[in-house]
Structures are given as C-alpha cells and as structure tokens.
C-alpha cells in the first residue's frame, strides 16, 4: 500500500517536557487509523505538528513523499491535509452555509476574488449543499454558527474539513461532547464519507467501543511515545495497552 | 417576514436614503451642504475603517494617518506645487495613502490584538511628529491652506461651489458604498470574516491569515486616503491634528456608534456623528463630555450600535414568527 504520511523521529519539547518523543509513524492510503492514549499522551501535539500549527523540535514529516516539516498550516492544507478540532472550531458570525462555502472557495482557489458575489458561484453552492446534506446540517444552513448546538458545531467543524476534499484527514475527538446516543451515528457518517472517498484518516478518540468498531489500525501513545500499533484485534488482547488506557497495573 | 420581502424593504430603504441625499441641496443652506459633505466623507472613512474592525476583527488606533496622508497630499500638490487638476490630484492622494498603508500594514498585520492596535497608534503618532519636524514642507503646526483645485477647467472647492462639491462627494460616496458592498459579499470578503471569527480555523481551511489581514489593511487605507483627499478642499485647511490618535478615535467612535457588525452601521454612524458633533459643539463648550458620555452609553447599552441594535431586534422578531 502507498505511504501517505511518514513521520521520522518526530519530537516536541515544551521546555523540559517531552510531549512527543521520537515518533515514527506511517499511514497507508485509504486506511482509518485511530490514535488512542490517556490525556497528555501527546496525541493532539502530534496532530498539531502534522497540520503545521506547531513546529517540531526534531524530526521530519513527509506527505506523499514531500517534506512538509515546518510549513505554515495554510500551505499544508493546500497540499491535501485537512483537520478537525477537539473544541468545535467554526466561524460564529457566518451562517452554516457560509462556513462550509468559504472552505470550498478556499479549496477551489477562489478566495482572492474581490468583486464577484459569493452567492452567484453555483459550483461552490452546490458542493456546499452536498456537504451540508451529508452531515445533516442542510436544514440549519441559514443559522449563524453561534446559534447551533454543540453537536452541530462539532459536525460543522468536521464538515469544513471534508469540504477541502483532503487526501488525509486528521480528526481530534470528532465525537467529544456529543451525547452517547449521537456518537455512533456521527461516527458512522464520518466513516462512510471517508470510505466512499478513499480518504486516509488519523482519528483521535477516547471511546474504545467506537474505536474498535471503525478502525483498520490502532496506534497507542503513552507519555509521548508509541507503545503499541496494530489491528484492533491485536490491540484488544494487549495487556500493556489495557493497563495504560485504564490506568491500572 | 420572508427573506424576499426583507430584501424588498431593504431596497426601499436604500432608495429613500438615496433620494434624501440627492435632495439635500434643495434645502438651500450652504452650511447644510458643507455639513453633509463632511458627513459623507466621514462615512467613506468609516466604511474603509470597518473593513478592518468589523470584517477582519482588527482594532486600529491610527487610521487618521491615511486620512491625513490623503489630505496632506492634496494640500501640497494644490497649494505648494500648484498642480490643480482635481481628479489626478485625488488619484495621487489615494495612491500615497495606499502606499503607506501597504508598508505600515505589512508591519502591523504580523501582530495580533493589542500589539496591532499599539503599532497602528505608534505609526500614526510618528506622522504627527514628522509633520511638525518637516515644517518647511508641511507648514508645521500652521498646516497648509488648501487652494481650490480645478475640475474640468473651473475652480472647484466647497467655498466656490458648495452644491457642486456636495454632489462630487456624493458620487465618490456612492462608488465607495458600491465597491465596499461588493467586496464584503465576495469570496475575499467572506475570507476576512472567517479570519475575524476564527483565525486558527481560517488558516486550517487554507486562508493565509497574515496576508489577508494585510490586504484588508491596504483596502482600508485606500478608502481612508480618498476620504482625506476629499476633506482637504472642503475644509480648506489641513493641520497635523489629522495624524493625532484622538482624530483616529473619531472614526472608531463613529463606527461603534452605528455598529461595526453590519455594513451600513459605520456609514449611518458617521453621518449621525458628524451632524451631532456639529450641533453639540455649537451648543456647549463641554462637547467632549457630551460625546464621551454618548460613547459610554453606546458601549454599555447598545454594543451593536444604533443600526446594529435595530437589525438585531428585527432579526429576533423575524425568528420568532
């Protein structure tokens, strides 16, 4: 299988604290990999480095064979890596439609356009509507993002990442703060879109039942290091993982 | 009320507003022509300023600098260098403001929030100091008297031709509103709004945030320069106070008064501000106290400004139905 993302010796220090310690990770095309581990394991820091939000202290990141270490986030996005945030990150005073539409226009390279009205771009509009329908946000398209429920804001955040038509998507706890009954539904929507479009995904998630249900592969981090990496069945039977995740032993 | 009916009533309001503006000179008062010309100039300035404050979420304390550069360029060309054709003079003034806006904006847009605000203030004060220091060139604290420029062969200033100057200003005002409206509803305008709401997310969807903040700064400097350039022949005199931060505060005040969250807010705010200030200063020597109190009341009780508050109330009623 083709290697989409490769990290080599990726390390991040916050002063003396090793948030991520010598992580070597390869993601293969069209697979869903879950990143699990206790709080402070370095999962979000790893995502932040891949998406360019923070620069690594040491190590390299390659995407589709190209070195992307230290590039600014907007350039990394343009290359095909999109990300969703742990706390829903949306534009509060834009409508749900405009949130998705600006992501699409950005992806289409049209945001420099100064004078043509946003409403007249039918291609962008149709794409936005399709994404909104996929994520069940169509009915709420004219509401300002600030007026959406927490769950819908979370969905909108994820929808904006998918609107960028990425090759690789990084999702940071896409179902956190969503009611337990909704979690399964949202995750199955996300999984369906990822599979349909052949996107490679790296998903941080805490709910192990959900993780086991959709993952092709599970990577376990603890204290900045990868301590286990394998198929869900292998991870399930790994005693060491159990002790780390449950905090026993 | 449906969206379509809303749009119709919105258009009606615009047409009524336009008719009122066109009819102002019929009142036959030179003072009102002068006052409304000034109000429209402030409106152009506030409209440009709001690209930064309302649409990109950047607070500038130094937009007097670009207004002042526009005004001083006109004054110097017309009076010092006797270069009088008004349209080329205006164009030069706008270019000068835009040029300095591009340099200063590049330096400021790299910084966020309070550092951005302080830098804009510092640069504006730098121009203030320079106009005193370079007095051979700028006239120092005396400023420069502005001789009437020529428009198509006739001497053209507010004193020579108050009605003509009013309509001249009105044309530029309408052009500014039209282009401004186009920009805020374009993909570029939406990108600025995304940056305002959430810079981290804007960057995460591929918008180069620093560069777009810079573009917004340049556009706002351009409008400010146009306003300043129209101001010089109207007022007939330019002084270093145009660069002082207290003057920059006036455009902030006007913008907040009308409401920075809505397109027409700063425009109406600037018109109300100019007219109110004129009558308050005539009525009492304590006019700064009155204006200050007005600002406090606006900030505490109408954070959306006058137009913004009306809009929010209409929206709530619309949502309840």
User: Which tens digit of pLDDT belongs to each residue from A189-247?
Assistant: 899 999 999 999 999 988 888 899 899 999 999 999 999 999 998 988 888 888 887 66
- Cβ pairs bridging A and B (under 8 Å): 110
CB contact B174 to A (< 8 Å): no
Query: From A105, which residue of chain B is nearest by alpha-carbon distance?
Result: B187
Q: What percent of chain B has pLDDT over 70?
A: 96
Nearest CA-CA distance, residue A77 and chain B, Å: 5
> Of A188, A192, A221, nearest to A204 (Cα)?
A221
The H or E element that residue B238 is part of is strand B237-238
**pLDDT category, B1, cuts 50, 70, 90?**
very low
Note whether B204 contacts A85, CB cutoff 8 Å: yes
Cβ contacts of B196 on chain A, cutoff 8 Å: 91, 93
Residue B318 reports pLDDT greater than 80: no
- Give me chain B's average pLDDT, please: 92
Note whether A51 contacts B204, CB cutoff 8 Å: yes
Q: Are the CB atoms for B163 and B25 separated by under 8 Å?
A: yes
Cβ contacts of A74 on chain B, cutoff 8 Å: 203, 206-209
Residue A151 reports pLDDT greater than 90: no
For the record, the structure tokens of A181 come out as 């009954």
* E strand spans, chain A: 3-14, 17-28, 32-36, 58-63, 66-67, 81-84, 168-172, 200-204, 217-222, 225-230
CB contact B260 to A (< 8 Å): no
Q: What pLDDT sits at residue B88?
A: 96
Contacts of A169 (CB under 8 A, 6+ apart): A81, A82, A83, A84, A161, A162, A194, A199, A200, A201, A202
Q: What pLDDT sits at residue B154?
A: 85
**Pairing mode of beta strands A58-63, A168-172:** unpaired
Q: What pLDDT sits at residue A249?
A: 44
Compute the average pLDDT of residues B4-16: 77
Instruction: Please give the ipTM for the structure prediction.
Output: 0.90
- Please write the tens of the pLDDT for every residue from B153-196: 888 888 888 999 999 999 999 999 999 999 999 999 999 999 99
Note whether B187 contacts A113, CB cutoff 8 Å: yes
Q: Are the CB atoms for A75 and A26 separated by under 8 Å?
A: no
Compute the average pLDDT of residues A168-196: 88
CB contact B206 to A (< 8 Å): yes
Cβ contacts of A113 on chain B, cutoff 8 Å: 186-188
């Amino acid at each position: 299988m083709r290697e989409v993302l490769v990290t080599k010796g990726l390390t991040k220090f916050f002063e003396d604290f090793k948030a991520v310690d010598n992580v070597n990770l390869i993601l293969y095309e069209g697979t869903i990999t879950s990143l699990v581990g206790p709080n402070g394991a370095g999962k979000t820091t790893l995502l932040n480095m891949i998406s360019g939000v923070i620069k690594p202290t040491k190590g390299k990141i390659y995407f589709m064979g190209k070195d992307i270490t230290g590039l600014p986030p907007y350039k990394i996005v343009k290359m095909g890596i999109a990300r969703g945030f742990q706390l829903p990150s949306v534009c509060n005073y834009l409508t749900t439609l405009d949130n998705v539409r600006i992501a699409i226009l950005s992806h289409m390279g049209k945001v420099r356009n100064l004078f043509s009205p946003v409403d007249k771009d039918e291609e962008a509009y149709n794409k936005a509507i399709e994404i909104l329908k996929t994520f069940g946000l169509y009915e709420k398209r004219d509401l300002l993002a600030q007026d959406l429920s927490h769950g819908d804001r979370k969905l909108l955040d994820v929808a904006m990442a998918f609107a960028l038509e990425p090759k690789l998507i990084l999702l940071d706890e896409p179902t956190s703060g969503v009611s337990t009954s909704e979690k399964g539904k949202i995750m199955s929507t996300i999984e369906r879109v990822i599979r349909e479009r052949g996107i490679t995904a790296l998903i941080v998630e805490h709910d192990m039942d959900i993780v086991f249900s959709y993952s092709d592969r599970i990577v376990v981090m603890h204290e900045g290091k990868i301590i286990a990496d394998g198929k869900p069945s292998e991870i399930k039977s790994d005693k060491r993982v159990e002790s780390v995740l449950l905090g026993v032993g | 009320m449906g969206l379509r009916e809303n749009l119709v009533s919105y258009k009606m309001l615009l047409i009524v507003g336009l008719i009122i503006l066109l009819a102002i000179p019929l009142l036959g008062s030179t003072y009102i022509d002068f006052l409304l010309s000034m109000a429209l100039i402030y409106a152009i300035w506030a409209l440009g300023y709001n690209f930064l404050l309302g649409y990109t979420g950047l607070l500038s304390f130094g937009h007097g600098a670009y207004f002042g550069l526009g005004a001083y360029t006109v004054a110097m060309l017309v009076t010092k260098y006797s270069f009088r054709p008004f349209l080329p003079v205006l164009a030069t003034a706008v270019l000068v403001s835009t040029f300095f806006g591009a340099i200063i904006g590049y330096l400021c847009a790299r910084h966020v929030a309070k550092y951005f605000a302080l830098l804009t203030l510092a640069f504006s004060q730098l121009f203030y100091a320079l106009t005193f220091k370079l007095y051979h060139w700028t006239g120092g604290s005396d400023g420069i008297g502005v001789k009437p420029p020529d428009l198509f062969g006739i001497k053209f200033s507010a004193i020579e031709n108050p009605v003509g100057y009013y309509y001249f200003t009105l044309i530029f005002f309408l052009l500014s509103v039209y282009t401004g409206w186009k920009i805020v509803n374009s993909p570029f305008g939406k990108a600025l709004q995304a940056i305002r709401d959430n810079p981290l997310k804007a960057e995460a969807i591929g918008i180069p945030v620093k560069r777009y903040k810079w573009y917004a700064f340049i556009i706002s400097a351009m409008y400010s320069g146009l306003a300043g350039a129209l101001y010089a022949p109207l007022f007939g005199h330019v002084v270093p106070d145009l660069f002082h931060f207290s003057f920059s505060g006036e455009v902030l005040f006007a913008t907040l008064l009308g409401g920075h969250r809505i397109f027409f807010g700063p425009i109406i705010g600037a018109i109300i501000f100019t007219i109110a200030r004129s009558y308050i200063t005539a009525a009492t020597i304590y006019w700064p106290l009155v204006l200050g109190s007005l600002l406090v009341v606006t900030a505490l009780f109408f954070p959306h400004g006058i137009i913004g508050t009306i809009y929010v109330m209409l929206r709530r009623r619309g949502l309840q139905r």
